[in-house]
Amino acid sequence: MSNTVEFAKMNGLGNKILVVDMRGRTDKVTPQAAIALNADAETQFDQIMAIHDPKVQGTDAYIDILNSDGSKAQACGNGTRCVVQALAAETGKKAFTFQTVAGILNAVEHEDGTISVDMGRPVFEWNRIPLAEEFHDTSRIELQIGPIDNPVLHSPSAMSMGNPHAIFWVDRDPMSFDLERFGPLLENHPMFPEKANITLAQVISDSTLRTRTWERGAGLTLACGSAACASAVSAARTGRSGRKVTIDVASSPIRQPLVIDWREDDHVVMTGPAEWEWSGALDPSTGTWSRDAERGAEAR
């Protein structure tokens, strides 16, 4: 077995993604390799989407997802769109079914190049999100940061989209908050025994939200697909919006919105872009790599 595999540096609305082809192999991308890749400015990423041979009949692949700190992620909507684009370019197929830790995901590439991913059903029960304390209504939980009489952030909506999310509602541009300071404190708050993705969400209209996310295991991110889904569902759940909204991701340099549709069958469908940047080869055990144009040169 060769010690290198093909990979592509991609992005989903700015969300930095490495799509790694592990098909035909029994090993995995190691946490050490993930940490090494993230330490290099050229391969720095939010998530690794490692494509493995299918484990379940009727699926196209099993996707193993790693965060930039080497930890496992249950779901990554922006990364899933990147996988779809990569496999569609390779196979000519337009529709795919993937198995992940969070369950089965169906996705399709449209004629205009956008990609829809069925992210499944949202979870609201406190013990399944999970939260450390019981809340009858998780659309507004007791949690705040800042002075008791004048908190900076408070009363988030909590839910799971395969991974835990806390959505803090703000009345001004999410970019105006010091999320880099508050994000780590909230991600690791005792309320979240499995940590949580932290999102600031501003309601622009009943069909438009503006968001910014501190991602569990990755930190301040340019975009987060599951957080966009969680924001949209939480907005509809609390009467702030309808069930289909456009998400303006405040921190993304790509000014193309995500469209989130919380369908009547309770499934959440996310539609947005994916972009290939460059490709190369890497060692999944160590993280050493080279670009396609640099083959034969010393690996990084």
Tell me whether residue 217 is in a domain.
Answer: yes
Nearest alpha carbon to residue 73 among 99, 106, 102 = 102
Domain that holds residue 79: 5-120+275-294
Q: Which of these is catalytic: 65, 76, 167, 170?
A: 76
Tell me whether residue 161 is in a domain.
Answer: yes
Phi, psi of 205 (to 5 degrees): -155, 180
Q: Are strands 157-160 and 164-169 parallel, antiparallel or unpaired?
A: antiparallel
- 180 and 150 both lie in a single domain: yes
**Residue ranges of the chain with pLDDT lower than 50?**
294-299
Nearest alpha carbon to residue 79 among 285, 228, 232, 293 = 228
- 193 and 244 both lie in a single domain: yes
Whether 229 is catalytic: no
Structural domains of the chain, count: 2
Q: What is the distance, to the nearest Å, from the Cα of residue 215 to the centroid of all Cα atoms in its chain?
A: 8
Whether 82 is catalytic: no
- 114 and 172 both lie in a single domain: no
Nearest-angstrom CA–CA distance, 89 and 228: 26
Predicted local distance difference test score (pLDDT) of residue 295: 44
Nearest-angstrom CA–CA distance, 153 and 201: 11
CATH of the domain at 208: 3.10.310.10
Q: Which of these is catalytic: 13, 33, 224, 281?
A: 224
Q: Quick: pLDDT tens for 60-86.
A: 999 999 999 999 988 889 999 999 999
Tell me whether residue 130 is in a domain.
Answer: no
Tell me whether residue 62 is in a domain.
Answer: yes
- 225 and 259 both lie in a single domain: yes
Predicted local distance difference test score (pLDDT) of residue 250: 83
Predicted local distance difference test score (pLDDT) of residue 293: 66
Tell me whether residue 55 is in a domain.
Answer: yes
Phi, psi of 8 (to 5 degrees): -130, 135
- 152 and 252 both lie in a single domain: yes
